[in-house]
A = this chain, B = another copy of it.
Amino acid sequence: MTDSPEPIERSLFEAPPMAEQERMVEAILFASTEPVTVADLEQRLPHGCDPAEALVHLRKRYEGRGVHLVRVGDAHAFRTAPDLGHLMRKETVEQRKLSRAAIETLAIIAYHQPVTRTEIEEIRGVAVSRGTVDQLLELEWIRLGRRRMTPGRPVTFVVTEQFLDHFGLESARDLPGLKELRAAGLLDSRPLPGSPSRGEDEDEASVGQSELFED
């Protein structure tokens, strides 16, 4: 290959050496405010780069270090090595637990997504305050999903990648199912005999995640 006629070939030829690509990916992942996908990297690196390969090198380089390169959904990000989490505790002094209402709402969204506010209220048996939903939105643990194609076209809520990130889940499918909850003793109360069946409304609510409970 002496003089390539194709400009695309030329720029491929000109891609920076892999060590340089690795530096670039390192800098981008470091500075990015959210996990970065390979497609995203491809767009931002000079033409002809191979971010997937650079990521492999980079991941290896950070193995055993204080910071790891981890996958978050389709994307990649640096994270403190899990065994060093205790060092971060100093900053989390003012940690506040989520209110019971918030964590329950979050759990329902995670297990039943996409789910409407009405459905959440049906499951919790109490009204969901605006503040609770706003807090979860603000934490970026939930976001608005598609509107339901039913009268009123209510909005639905789904959990976000940040949610998965925070709870160390690769996907919402990794949430333990009801059977496992029961096995873990977290769901020991049996339904009261003769309590009204929840009927269709439950079916509707659990459409999104129903497959979680099938195994």
Residues in A lying within 8 Å of B, measured CB to CB: 22-28, 30-33, 43-45, 64-67, 78, 80-81, 84, 87-91
Instruction: Give the distance in Å from the alpha carbon of A22 to the alpha carbon of B67 in the complex.
Output: 11
How distant is A39 from chain B, measured CB to nearest CB, in Å?
A: 13
> Using Cβ atoms and an 8 Å threshold, which residues of chain B touch A81?
23, 27
Instruction: Give the distance in Å from the alpha carbon of A25 to the alpha carbon of B65 in the complex.
Output: 10
Q: A30-B78, A67-B30 are in contact. Are A84 and B24 (CB under 8 A)?
A: yes
Q: Is the CB–CB distance between B91 and A25 below 8 Å? A: no
Top 5 nearest A-B pairs (CB, nearest first) are A26-B66, A27-B66, A23-B66, A27-B80, A27-B84
Q: A22-B66, A66-B22 are in contact. Are A87 and B30 (CB under 8 A)?
A: no
Which of B27, B43, B91 is the one whose CB lies under 8 Å from A67?
B27
Q: List 26 A-B contacts (CB under 8 A).
A: A23-B65, A23-B66, A23-B81, A23-B84, A24-B66, A24-B87, A25-B66, A26-B65, A27-B80, A27-B88, A28-B66, A28-B87, A28-B88, A30-B66, A30-B67, A30-B78, A30-B80, A31-B88, A31-B91, A32-B90, A32-B91, A33-B91, A43-B90, A44-B87, A44-B89, A45-B87
